[in-house]
Amino acid sequence: GAVVSQHPSWVICKSGTSVKIECRSLDFQATTMFWYRQFPKQSLMLMATSNEGSKATYEQGVEKDKFLINHASLTLSTLTVTSAHPEDSSFYICSARRGNQPQHFGDGTRLSIL
Amino acid sequence: KQEVTQIPAALSVPEGENLVLNCSFTDSAIYNLQWFRQDPGKGLTSLLLIQSSQREQTSGRLNASLDKSSGRSTLYIAASQPGDSATYLCAVRDNQAGTALIFGKGTTLSVSS
């Protein structure tokens, strides 16, 4: 149980385009979802926390206008990287949690901006 | 602000050795602590979760301990195997509502046959 599906697993796109990543909790209702970013050989850095139906809370240094997060339902959150540039290339991982239960993680999305 | 540190950053051992990975955190007011495994280019696999009221958790050859007052946790791997080669991440959740797991930078383990 407690499966989190993240899609796509890998995306390559041109600089200036926008990319949307989906995160779904398949067998539970996620009251809170989290988005992390991981650069090569670095740890996971929390980008933002979102509760269903509310605006996301962004960590310091994360541009909310660049990384748009939508958590419109209890099973789906999306991260849109707007006007992506090569420095946005990274591994993005979502995580979902129901209430006070442990966080469950998606398999990540490798984003490469050319 | 909570900070998580893992030592060593990298570790190479021959197959069969027992080993210990260390994790420390700056704020002892945690809700729980979790150890993950991450293979190159992959997502996270949860290994063990220790609640703040617990001292240790065991799963197969893995044993994780927690000393909340000193802000430390260890992951003990017995009889290491080449398949154990991966990066091991320690993460803590603060004792506040709605908080996310905060990760250390990980220990990259290489077990040679």
Q: What is the mean pLDDT of chain A?
A: 93
Percent of chain A whose predicted confidence (pLDDT) is above 70: 99
Of the candidates B79, B96, B109, the one whose C-alpha atom is nearest the C-alpha of residue B31 is B96
Of A43, A49, A106, the CB nearest to B100: A49
Asked if pLDDT for residue B98 goes beyond 80, the answer is no
Residue B97 — pLDDT band, cuts 50, 70, 90?
low
Of B43, B49, B103, the CB nearest to A107: B43
Residue A112 — pLDDT band, cuts 50, 70, 90?
very high
For residue B40, what is the DSSP state?
A: T
C-alpha dist (Å) from residue A104 to A15, B14, B79: 31, 32, 28
Of A34, A43, A106, the CB nearest to B100: A34
B60 touches chain A (CB under 8 A): no
Contact A43 B104 (CB under 8 A): yes
Residue A32 — pLDDT band, cuts 50, 70, 90?
very high
Nearest CA in chain A to B46: A104
More confident: B27 or A52: B27
Of the candidates B28, B44, B52, B42, the one whose C-alpha atom is nearest the C-alpha of residue B90 is B44
- Contact list in B for residue A95 (CB cut-off 8 A) is 100-101
Asked if pLDDT for residue B45 goes beyond 80, the answer is yes
